[in-house]
Amino acid sequence: MPLKFRLGNGEKGVLRTSDLLFIQKMLKTMRNPKTRFDSREFVEKGEDYLFNYVGKNVGGVDEGRRNFLKGIVIGIAAATVVGVVPGLRVLVPPVQQASGFPKSLLTDSSGNPVKASSVPVNSPIIMLFEYPLTGEPNFLINLGDKDNNPVAIAPVEVTVPQTGKSYKFPGGVGPKNSIVAYSAICQHLGCTPPYIHFYPPNYVGPSQLTAPEPDTLTAQALLAAKQANVPALIHCDCHGSTYDPYRGAAVLTGPTVRPLPAVLLEWDNSTDYLYAIGAIGVATYPEGADGTPSQDPNSDLNTSQFGSSVGDKTQLQASTNPFSGS
């Protein structure tokens, strides 16, 4: 049975069963890491990007379908449609706010504080925590050399290729200044673990060129690692973006034009506890960021597609070893 809703001009529109099925297919495609919908490009190009995306990845866009998509994009009866079709919020993100960045203690699954000295060096296991908002994943990595000795990560200036602007990454923390934290959301099209993850030194080699997903490295990534003289990488298997974890997650290979945002960490040497205290890098907040670095970790987060503030604690989770099947 068709669903009717009232348009802004007083006319009634009809959401047909075929429209519902089309929306379901479109949402599934948008969430697929291989065909991820680029919200930043959508903001820049508007409905033309949406039409091209749908035509390429979902199906043909005739005049009727085009008008239907316009109705969603422009927001005509958007609240009604979103209420009728759960999941359509990908086009109309909820607004969440948090006043400043919380100081959040990293804990384990039992609620006990994580000690920096217990974080393994060059671990292949994906270690994630949410910060500063729920639903926003970040890597925690204890970086080492090819012999798995901790490497002190020095402060460095990180350039944003998209804009040419730069910002100061403060370096690592912990007993050896080797622990860092970066966003686990690829800055190209938003792929998340396990498609993007840390590649320890023993997995940065020719054998990964033919490894199964999500552990495939590109020849460009291997070359970039050699040229940058780094033993390990963060690499996204969706489209090949590569980041340098030793230098503030700077871009090593595209297609990304933005480094991974970094979570600012604090280490209490009297307790060995780790705290997340802020973030720096490509501005994630507010929405519609143009790659301008966020210089003030105490500034309001403003609007976001994620959840509410994590508060004074955030749980570190060992999600998976992506190389276990290699």
Confidence of residue 213 (pLDDT cuts 50, 70, 90): confident
Mean pLDDT of 143-147: 97
Quote the CA–CA distance of 201 and 146 in Å, as a whole number: 5
Same domain, residue pair 289 and 225: yes
Q: How far is CA 255 from CA 28, 89, 204, 251, 282, in A?
A: 23, 27, 20, 9, 16
Indicate the residue among 90, 119, 146 that finishes a domain: 90
And the tokens for 12? Answer: 């009634």
User: Which is more confident, 277 or 15?
Assistant: 277
Q: Which of 68, 90, 112 is the last residue of a domain?
A: 90
Residue 306 CA to residue 323 CA, distance in Å, equals: 29
Q: Is residue 185 one of the residues assigned to a domain?
A: yes
Residue with tokens 């860092």: 180
Residue 185 and residue 263 in one domain: yes
Burial (CB count <10 Å: 0-12, 13-18, 19+), residue 8? exposed
| Separation of alpha carbons 119 and 131, rounded Å | 18
Would residue 96 count as lying in a domain?
no
Let me know if residue 97 belongs to a domain.
Answer: no
Q: What is the pLDDT of residue 162?
A: 83
- Residue 99 forms part of a structural domain: no
Question: At residue 104, does pLDDT exceed 90?
Answer: yes
Based on the domain organization, do 258 and 193 belong to the same domain? yes
CATH number where 178 lies = 2.102.10.10
Please state the pTM of the whole predicted model: 0.67
In angstroms, the Cα distances linking 229 to 70, 176, 222 are: 49, 20, 10
Per residue in 276-307, pLDDT (tens digit) is: 998 888 654 433 334 333 444 334 344 444 56
The pLDDT-based confidence of 103 (bands split at 50, 70, 90) is: very high
Q: Is residue 323 pLDDT above 90, yes or no?
A: no
Enclosing domain of residue 299: 104-318
Beta bridge partners of 278: 264
Q: Are residues 82 and 125 in the same domain?
A: no
Lowest mean pLDDT among 77-86, 110-119, 167-176, 259-268: 77-86
Q: Is there a single domain that holds both residue 86 and residue 109?
A: no
Q: Do 48 and 157 sit in the same domain of this protein?
A: no
pLDDT value, residue 10: 45
Same domain, yes or no, for 184 and 206?
yes
CB 217 within 8 A of CB 211: yes
User: Is residue 274 domain-shared with residue 211, that is, in the same domain?
Assistant: yes
Domain shared by 284 and 150, yes or no: yes
Of the two residues 12 and 144, the one the predictor is more confident about is 144
Q: Same structural domain for residues 235 and 108?
A: yes
Q: Is residue 95 part of a domain?
A: no
Domain co-membership, 135 together with 69: no
The pLDDT of residue 71 is 59
Q: Clarify whether residues 253 and 141 are in a common domain.
A: yes
Instruction: Return all residues near 80 (Cβ < 8 A) that are at least 6 apart.
Output: 5, 6
Structure token digits, residue 243: 């980041």
Q: What local confidence, expressed as pLDDT, does residue 183 receive?
A: 92
Look at 110 and 79; give whichever has higher pLDDT: 110
Domain boundary at 37, 67, 90, which?
A: 90
The stretch 120-132 carries a mean pLDDT of: 95
Domains in the chain, number: 2
Distance separating alpha carbons of residues 182 and 263, to the nearest angstrom: 6
Work out the mean pLDDT of the chain and round it to a whole number: 78
pLDDT of residue 111: 95
Within-domain flag for 289? yes
Whole-angstrom distance, CA of residue 166 vs CA of residue 293: 7
Residue 129 lies in a domain: yes
Q: What's the rounded mean pLDDT across residues 177-206?
A: 92
